[in-house]
Amino acid sequence: MKNSKIEVHTSGAALGAEVHNINLKDHLSDEAKETLRQALDDHEVIFFPDQNLDPNQQKEATRIFGPLLPSYTFFDHLDDDPEIELVINDKDKPPTGTARWHADLTWAKEPPGGTSLYARKLPGDGTGNTIWASMSAAYDALSDRMKSYLEGLEAVHSWDLLLDGRTKFLARSGEAFLNHKSKNPPIPQPVIRTHPRTGKKILNVNPTFTNHIVGLPRLESQGILEFLFCLPARPENQVRHKWHEGTLAVWDNTATQHTAVDDFYPQYRELTRVTFGGHGVPV
């Protein structure tokens, strides 16, 4: 039976590992669950190939890593379930807003601890990859002087910086847009965050949601942020994942940023997405 000896195969990059000899539909012991949580702490994004999960099974697998969160983004919910989103792109639904570096929902008071994404249907030519970057590795590569300068600074994160996301909400209704905006005002977050589980220092700014650094002149803030925004794009901080149907990816949203590669358009791709919490208010 699978799950008796879980195997974690590292990618050899700054982050990422594949988990083998496991069937996520099976009952997992407490020891097995702790092995998976440790793998995520160690590798920041982990991949489970050759799974055959329905949406509820994906939710149960995701719950290993933290409490599930209802999600209210511009993705549709599957069967009106607030805890699972259906991500479909094709010629009628082009991918928008995800092909830029970001961590999810950093404009929230308590951003998600992480996310799972399950590949249901994919293009047949290997396109549509996803890239993750380790923001702990990006922090570690900074000079001591830059680390010292950034420590204690805060940057404002805002939900409606992302034009494509605003457009999707406005397409639903102006009332939905204004309601979401009023519930999620711009919020200051630490530029350097400490991971609540691992204690690692992490760069906590991203070009999708971070507007400016508090208390700095505009040009100084802009220059520092442009430098920090470049760091996820450095290959030494990345792992690139080629999807296969039946693969579940789970990533640590605190420790990483990610970006989609939209080269599959206009082909059909279908994924399901579940979000979990548990990392608290950024400090």
Active site residues: 102, 104, 258, 273
Phi/psi of residue 142, nearest 5 degrees:
-70, 155
Contacts of 27 (CB under 8 A, 6+ apart): none
Contacts of 14 (CB under 8 A, 6+ apart): 133, 134, 137, 236, 237, 238, 239
CA distance 209 to 21: 38
CA distance 240 to 261: 10
CA distance 65 to 251: 10
Cβ atoms < 10 Å from Cβ of 268: 16
CA distance 29 to 20: 16
Bridge partners for 203 per DSSP: 192
CA distance 173 to 101: 27
CA distance 195 to 269: 33
